[in-house]
């Protein structure tokens, strides 16, 4: 029965142009691979690069000759690019993309680490930790934007969350009440976002920026007036404990990174899975996507468009707020003025780089977290590559993603457009 439609379709298919997105991406990867194999390979000393499984230089390690590795992985990148360029494996596009990026990064690492060592556990752990708020922030963005509301206010939700966690966490002397208050802090911004965007139809991008400034001003003011003078009463929240999961935590490398860490990591991982499956497989997900893509169609089948959007924006606020708790309850242990310093915008970048999907956003956040961690590592080993280059990476990657080089990036069709009935 279905074959009939497929045949019908064949007649109307537009002939495919040669320069598809896959081919363009492939060409870029080939160029990157040539750069990696040529430049990194030429610059890399022919010494052993050691990726140690423990914290120090001794002990078990993965070893590779730096120069050899740089050239080898450069060639792998070229291979991935060439396969994309040949257009022979359309089903494997995503895998090839991942492989290309991974090989390029490895080539770079072989060059940098040649003659030195890189502690793998520490790097992975640090990357995940730096990625943690980005993951939660990007998930909040996924919830809002898949239902059709642009959320540029993630930064503000982080700040309010971080502030709420520090203030209430200290006063209640409980890390869990602190986490809860962080979520509420994010919710406050989300309520403003939802009401102003949907009831008063304020432009959502402008609104998001204004809300960020509001959060910055408000927390900054309260910090100076309240927290700074009485830090012991208002700004010494308890730190989040580490939960060790018996058994799993003993797996080498993966164990200490994923299963011997703070509860916020577990929360983030669970949320990625839940939201991902929820969007694809549940009634809530179907309706959320419908409202974000074609609200008028959703309305004609009796779905409450605004109600659905409100629910998602508020839920997103809770999650982003919880992400803000990272800064005060996990990372530093006290609130500071503008302490999120743009992490919300990187979360937004992760959302776009991850193509508005929870899993994509998760990997994008991890990638950005890794870039951040690598920047610290490189400056520690005295690399000639300025760390600013790596800190620039999230934005650069997002620009490339938006330009459409990494597969098809398409925002939900009704993203940012208010729904007005009639």
Partner 1 sequence: MEPGEIHALLGENGAGKSTLMNVLYGLLQPDEGEILVDGAPVQIHTSRDAIAAGIGMVHQHFMLVPVFTVAENVILGAEKVRGGLLGWLDRGRARREVLDVSTRYGLRVDPDAIVEDLPVGIQQRVEIIKALTRDVDLLILDEPTAVLTPQETDELLAVMRTLKADGKSIVFITHKLREVKAIADRITVIRRGRTVGTASPDASEDELAALMVGRQVSLVVEKPPAAPRGPILEIGGLVVNDERGHRAVDGVDLTVRAGEVLGIAGVQGNGQTELVEAIMGLRPVVAGSITLDGAPMVGRSPKDVLRAGVGYVPEDRSVDGLVKEFSVAENLVLDLYDQAPFGNGLVLRPEKIAASAKERIAQFDVRTSSHESPVGTLSGGNQQKVIVARELSRPLKLFIASQPTRGVDVGSIEFIHKQIIHERDIGTAVLVVSSELDEVIGLADRIAVMYRGRVIAIVSPDTPREEIGLLMAGITGEGPASDEEVEA
Residue 251 or residue 297: which is nearer to partner 1 going by CB? 297
| Gap between the Cα atoms of 323 and 9, Å rounded | 46
CB 36 within 8 A of CB 73: yes
The Cα-based distances of 210 to 196, 205, 280 in angstroms read 11, 9, 33
With tokens 């609104």, the residue in question is 207
Chain-centre distance for alpha carbon 360: 8
Min dist. Cβ of residue 370 to partner 1 (A) = 31
Cα–Cα distance between 140 and 195 in angstroms, integer?
17
Tokens of 125: 């752990």
Cβ of residue 286: shortest distance to partner 1, in angstroms?
Answer: 6
CA atoms within 13 A on the CB side of 313: 29
Q: Which residue, 2 or 388, is less far from partner 1 as judged by CB?
A: 2
**With respect to partner 1, which residue has the nearer C-beta, 302 or 384?**
302
Residue 16 to residue 36: CA distance in whole angstroms = 31
- If the CB atoms of residues 127 and 147 are measured against partner 1, the closer one turns out to be 147
- Residue 77 token pair: 């990148």
Minimum CB separation of residue 397 from partner 1 in Å reads 24
Question: Which residue, 291 or 390, has its beta carbon nearer to partner 1?
Answer: 291
Which is nearer to partner 1, 39 or 303 (by Cβ)? Answer: 303
CB of residue 285 to partner 1, shortest distance in Å: 8
Q: Least CB distance from residue 282 to partner 1, whole Å?
A: 5
Quote the least distance from Cβ 243 to partner 1, whole Å. 26
Residues found near partner 1 in the complex (CB under 8 A): 1-2, 4-6, 8-9, 12, 281-287, 289-290, 293-294, 296-303, 413, 421-422
Tell me if 321 sits within 8 A of 186, measured CB to CB.
yes
Contact between residue 287 and residue 308 where contact means Cβ atoms under 8 Å apart: yes
């Amino acid at each position: 029965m279905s074959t009939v439609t497929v045949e019908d379709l064949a007649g109307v298919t537009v002939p495919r142009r040669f320069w598809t997105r896959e081919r363009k991406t492939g060409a870029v990867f080939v160029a990157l691979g040539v750069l990696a194999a040529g430049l990194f390979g030429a610059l890399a000393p022919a010494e052993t690069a050691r990726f140690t499984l423990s914290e120090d230089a001794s002990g078990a390690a993965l070893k590779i000759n730096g120069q050899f590795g740089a050239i080898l992985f450069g060639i792998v990148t070229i291979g991935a690019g060439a396969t994309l360029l040949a257009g022979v494996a359309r089903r494997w596009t995503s895998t090839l993309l991942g492989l290309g990026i991974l090989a390029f990064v490895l080539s770079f690492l072989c060059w940098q680490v040649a003659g030195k060592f890189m502690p793998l556990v520490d790097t992975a752990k640090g990357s995940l930790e730096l990625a943690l708020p980005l993951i939660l922030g990007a998930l909040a963005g996924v919830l809002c934007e898949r239902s059709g509301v642009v959320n540029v206010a993630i930064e503000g939700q982080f700040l309010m969350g971080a502030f709420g966690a520090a203030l209430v966490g200290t006063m209640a002397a409980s890390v869990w009440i602190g986490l809860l208050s962080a979520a509420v802090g994010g919710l406050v911004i989300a309520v403003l976002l939802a009401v102003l965007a949907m009831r008063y139809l304020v432009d959502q991008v402008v609104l998001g920026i204004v809300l960020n400034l509001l959060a910055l001003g408000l927390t900054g003011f309260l910090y100076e007036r309240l927290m700074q003078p009485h830090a012991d009463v208002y700004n010494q929240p308890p730190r989040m404990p580490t939960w060790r999961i018996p058994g799993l935590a003993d797996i080498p490398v993966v164990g200490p990174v994923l299963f011997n860490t703070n509860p916020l990591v577990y929360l983030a991982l669970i949320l990625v899975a839940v939201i991902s499956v929820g969007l694809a497989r549940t009634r809530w997900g179907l309706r959320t996507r419908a409202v974000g893509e074609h609200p008028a169609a959703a309305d004609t089948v009796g779905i409450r468009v605004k109600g659905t959007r409100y629910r998602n924006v508020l839920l997103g606020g809770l999650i982003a707020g919880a992400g803000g708790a990272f800064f005060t309850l996990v990372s530093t242990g006290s609130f500071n003025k503008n302490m999120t310093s743009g992490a919300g915008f990187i979360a937004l970048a992760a959302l776009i780089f991850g193509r508005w999907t929870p899993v994509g956003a998760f990997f994008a956040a991890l990638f950005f977290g890794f870039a951040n961690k690598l920047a610290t590592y490189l400056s520690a080993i005295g690399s000639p590559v300025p760390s600013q280059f790596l800190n620039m990476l999230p934005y650069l990657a997002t620009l490339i993603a938006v330009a459409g080089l990494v597969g098809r990036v398409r925002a939900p069709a009704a993203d940012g457009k208010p729904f007005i009935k009639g």
